[in-house]
Amino acid sequence: MAENNDVQKEQISQAYLALVWWKFKKNKMAVVGGVIVILFYLICGVLAEFVSPYPLSFQSDYLEARPQPLVFKNQEGKFSLIPSVYGLEETVDVELRKRIYVVDKTQIFPLALLPKAAEPYKLLGFIPMNRHLFGVNLKAAPDGYAFLFGTDRLGRDIFSRIIYGGRLSLLIGLLGQIGTFVLGSAMGTISGYYGGVVDILIQRLTEFVGAFPDIPLFMALAAAIPIGWSPIMVYFMLTLIMVFIRWGGLARQVRGLILSLREREYVLAAQSAGASDARLMFRHLLPGTLSHIIVIATLMIPGMILSETALSFLGLGLRPPLTSWGVLLQEVTSVRAIRFAPWLLIPLPFIVLAILAFNMLGDGLRDAMDPYGGR
């Protein structure tokens, strides 16, 4: 009985965040989106070296090989629950005058869960490991290979590259968003709190940056990155450019929220207790806007990921030694590639899935942030 009472009490005095969580959970689309987003970050961001069967530096002798179909057979050709892949055979396409690969059904390479890696590697660069999530069973087929999504023109495994590419693409969205978040909320808070000349200056600045349309400005700034820079520098520069272009929108929204919060009594109370400006702004005012900012920020991440993809695709963003989704798509800029190696387009559905998942998550969060409203 006492326990029952406790449960009831808990339901009545739900805190705001608990209500938000409760409303969010009811929205199936948003939950699915959130799970997919977390999976993407887990697989690509954290476990890329483990999940991808081949390391990033790996190059096979099979150039532009088509994806090897998955079959549930063992090496004797009998049904087996452990999937295998068919091998590839090199032939010459007379019409195209080009080496191509066809599926060779006489060779069967069984796959294995957690096989020993060809060489030990370090997860995230510091955790030594010697097993991949899956791969060809090298004991059963010593010279076997498995390119589930085929290979590119340098013989690299596309499946692995999609996972590694996701790491940079998803990270640039996150890093860029964190930067935008910090700069935008700081500028917005300062602008809203001080008002007057500071406010006018910051507002004019955001208007000025906003007068440039996103993508053309982004292209122009990205094109200004010197070609000689190291890939890491280019990566961070691109992130900075994104922050520079996007912070204005966030700052304006934060400013609006701060303007209304500033008039609340608790601010006056804190002020009379002798709180400094900085403390008032960043301890008392900014936290009140956080839930809003987080939603706006989540809704902006897919745009950032897409900007990177688009720019790299055009050759203005990240460049080859780096692997990102946009860099992967660079391979399909030619009509020839789409016609003769359409599997190079396989990264596409993954990009779209990540974007959609982010949108679903962001939409769900936005609805959930107002848990008292109907609908």
Partner 1 sequence: MLSYILRRLGYAAIMLVLVSFVSFLIIELPPGDYLTKKLQDLQARGDRSAELRIAEYRVRYGLDKPLMERYWIWASNFIKGDFGESFEFERPVTEILGNRIGFTVLMAVSVIIVQWGIAIPIGVYSATHQYSLGDQVVTTLSFVGLGMPGFLLALLVMFFAMVVLGQEVSGLFSNEFKDAPWTIAKVIDLLKHLWIPALVGSVTGTAGLVRIMRGNLLETLGQPFVEAARARGLTNQKVTWKHAVRVAINPLIVILGSETLPSVVAGNALVATVLNLPTVGPLYVSALQSQDMYLAGTVLVFIVFMTLMGNLLADLVLAALDPRIRLE
Q: C-beta of 359: minimal distance to partner 1 in Å?
A: 4
Q: Which is nearer to partner 1, 44 or 328 (CB)?
A: 328
For residues 112-123, one letter each, b for 16 or more C-beta atoms within 10 angstroms of the residue's C-beta and e for the rest, the string is: beebebeeebee
Q: Which is nearer to partner 1, 187 or 305 (CB)?
A: 305
User: How many helices (H) and strands (E) in the chain?
Assistant: 14, 6
Give, for 179, the enclosing helix (H) or strand (E). Answer: helix 158-194
Kindly give, in sequence order, each residue whose CB lies less than 8 Å from that of residue 332, ignoring residues fewer than 6 positions away: 338, 344, 345
Question: 304, 359, 343: which is closest to 171 by C-alpha?
Answer: 304
Four-CA torsion 326, 302, 181, 243, nearest 10 degrees = 30
Q: Which is nearer to partner 1, 118 or 345 (CB)?
A: 345
Q: Which is nearer to partner 1, 208 or 266 (CB)?
A: 208
φ, ψ (nearest 5 deg) of residue 15:
-75, 165
- The site for partner 1 (CB under 8 A) is made up of 207-208, 211-213, 215-217, 219-221, 223-226, 302, 306, 309-310, 313-316, 329, 332-333, 335, 338-339, 342, 345, 348, 351-352, 355-356, 359-360, 363
Q: Which two tokens stand for residue 322?
A: 């780096």
Nearest 5°: CA angle at 227, between 222 and 228?
A: 135
Q: C-beta of 30: minimal distance to partner 1 in Å?
A: 12
Q: Which is nearer to partner 1, 141 or 311 (CB)?
A: 311
Give the SS3 label for residue 126.
coil
Q: C-beta of 120: minimal distance to partner 1 in Å?
A: 37
Distance, CA of 359 to CA of 362 (rounded, Å): 5
Distance, CA of 372 to CA of 375 (rounded, Å): 10
Give the SS3 label for residue 128.
strand
φ, ψ (nearest 5 deg) of residue 314:
-80, -10
Q: C-beta of 229: minimal distance to partner 1 in Å?
A: 10
Q: Which is nearer to partner 1, 267 or 345 (CB)?
A: 345
Distance, CA of 49 to CA of 19 (rounded, Å): 38
Q: Which is nearer to partner 1, 281 or 360 (CB)?
A: 360
C-alpha Rg value of the chain to the nearest Å: 26
Q: Which is nearer to partner 1, 154 or 220 (CB)?
A: 220
How many residues belong to the chain?
Answer: 375
Q: How many CA atoms lie within 13 A of 113 on its CB side?
A: 3
Task: Judge contact between 89 and 104, C-beta under 8 A.
Answer: yes
Q: Which is nearer to partner 1, 118 or 356 (CB)?
A: 356
Q: Which is nearer to partner 1, 49 or 308 (CB)?
A: 308
Q: Which two tokens stand for residue 47?
A: 């476990």
Q: C-beta of 222: minimal distance to partner 1 in Å?
A: 8
Tokens 């016609």 found at: 339
